[in-house]
Amino acid sequence: MRALVLFILFLFSPTFTFAQPERIISLAPSVTEAIYYLGAIDKLVAVSDYCKWPEEVKNKPKVGGMINPSYEKILALKPDLVIISKDVTPIEVYNRLIELGIKVHVYAPETLKDMPDELIKLGIAIGKERQAKIVAHEFQKNIKKVKRTFNNQKALFVIWTEPLTVAGKSSHINEVMNLLGLKNIAEYSSINIERVIKLNPEIIFFGAGHETVPEGLLVKLKDTKAVKKGNIYFISDKIYHLSPRIVEGIKEMAGVKIRN
């Protein structure tokens, strides 16, 4: 009788965990990066075509894009859990995965402030709650340490050059720019050359994918302060994804040297 009581107490203890997922598929780089920081990269059986970091995922099976994954490949891998990112995965993909009987977790940070809670939710979903709380706390500390390294200089962050796509006010990159003391000249994700020239940025950042700036674009922007003073900087993809890795991207932006 005593043994039965102990078993029941164990079974319904709040620390008891049922069937933690061991076969996880990530459909977004931000998810894959977050899983790495939570110490669960070994649970990933596949990732999206766009997941390039950390090094350990390069040889993992790929299941297609973030908006058009291969459901056939996903089913063949028999995942316990598929994790999608709210900001890049269409609702249609979520609905289809559910229809196929696949358990789905939605990783949904939209701002830096959302990150700690979303990391903990992710940790609970993959059986890494304790580690997630540690990582979330460390992330909060790191963000609080970010200092204003600029003095309200007008800036533009270019994501792509053709067509000209930039970080607008609703982006998390705009949030980073504000933290660093930069004034983003872009309201929305698209802006024309004439508008850029008129607003005259003092600094222009180019995101990952640009090793050089198209010469024609620099010619068009030659009268801006950024081009005249040589304040053109290339920033890695560390800044792109809402995962703990973004702290490194923030440091990278903070470290550029402005020519006055």
User: Measured in Å, how far apart are the chain's first and last C-alpha atoms?
Assistant: 81
pTM, to two decimals: 0.88
Q: How far is CA 73 from each of CA 45, 58, 78, rounded to the nearest angstrom?
A: 11, 17, 9
Per residue in 78-119, pLDDT (tens digit) is: 999 999 999 999 999 999 999 999 999 999 999 999 999 999
Kindly state whether residues 53 and 112 are assigned to the same domain.
Answer: yes
Kindly state whether residues 172 and 77 are assigned to the same domain.
Answer: no
Domain CATH for 238: 3.40.50.1980
Per residue in 209-241, pLDDT (tens digit) is: 766 777 889 899 999 999 999 999 999 999 999
**Is residue 108 assigned to a domain?**
yes
Kindly state whether residues 25 and 139 are assigned to the same domain.
Answer: yes
**Is residue 214 assigned to a domain?**
yes
Kindly state whether residues 37 and 138 are assigned to the same domain.
Answer: yes
The pLDDT of residue 200 is 98
**Is residue 92 assigned to a domain?**
yes
Per residue in 68-82, pLDDT (tens digit) is: 999 999 999 999 999
Can you give the C-alpha Rg of the chain in angstroms? 22
Sole residue written with tokens 């000209």: 164
Kindly state whether residues 92 and 184 are assigned to the same domain.
Answer: no
Kindly state whether residues 71 and 170 are assigned to the same domain.
Answer: no
> Any idea how long the chain is?
260
Cis peptide before 54 (omega within 30 of 0): yes
Cβ neighbours for 123, distance < 8 A, ≥ 6 positions apart: 38, 129, 130, 131, 132, 133, 135, 136
Q: What is the sign of the dihedral through the CA atoms of 69, 71, 72 and 74?
A: positive
**Is residue 182 assigned to a domain?**
yes
Range of the domain at 46: 21-143
**Is residue 148 assigned to a domain?**
no
**Is residue 6 assigned to a domain?**
no
| Domain boundary, last residue among 87, 119, 143 | 143
